[in-house]
Amino acid sequence: MLNGDAHLSSEVEVELRIRPVAEFSKIEHAHNTRPRATFHGVMSSHRILYAGTNYTLPGQLRDALKRLDCFVVFGPVDSARLLIASDIKYSLLLFDDDLAGAGLERFARALAHREQTPILLIKQAEGINSLVDTLMRLLGG
């Protein structure tokens, strides 16, 4: 600004730093050699995917299932198909018992690597204690 007047310039100086390709390949290789656990947190005995609308449920399950060494992943219904289709191993898929959950169940069953993965459809009215009891029986606790 000059004397309170706005001053616009059409000239812009930009500094561009370009890394050699060799540096990127070193970085990429370093990531490929890491154990998969570093990308998914500490590996737990059981990984549960919950896809639904109850945002407090994953935290409640984490607390209740601590002794079973469970890791609960929350995926909003809109993006859950990406998590279901991924190669991440889940001990259990947990969906809301509604139209969206039924669609996710059909999607999961259509995938060869999810055919044997247990799926539970849960009702909102179902209490957290009865859900935890069911999960304990399924996961061997």
Predicted confidence at residue 34, as pLDDT, reads: 41
Written as one letter, the residue type at 135 is L
φ and ψ at residue 119, rounded to 5 degrees: -125, 130
Hey, how many other C-beta atoms are within 10 angstroms of the C-beta on 15?
4
Could you tell me which residues are beta bridge partners of residue 82? none
**Which residue in the block uniquely carries the two structure tokens 């896809």?**
51
**Of 49, 99, 93, 51, nearest in space to 71 by CA:** 49
Q: Helix (H, G, I), strand (E, B), or coil: what is residue 33?
A: coil
- Mean per-residue pLDDT, 94-115: 94
Residue 31 has pLDDT above 80, yes or no: no
- Mean per-residue pLDDT, 118-139: 80
Please give the model's pTM, rounded to 2 decimal places.
0.63
Give residue limits of the domains in the chain. Answer: 45-139
Query: Which CATH superfamily does the domain covering 45-139 fall into?
Result: Response regulator (3.40.50.2300)
Predicted confidence at residue 28, as pLDDT, reads: 43
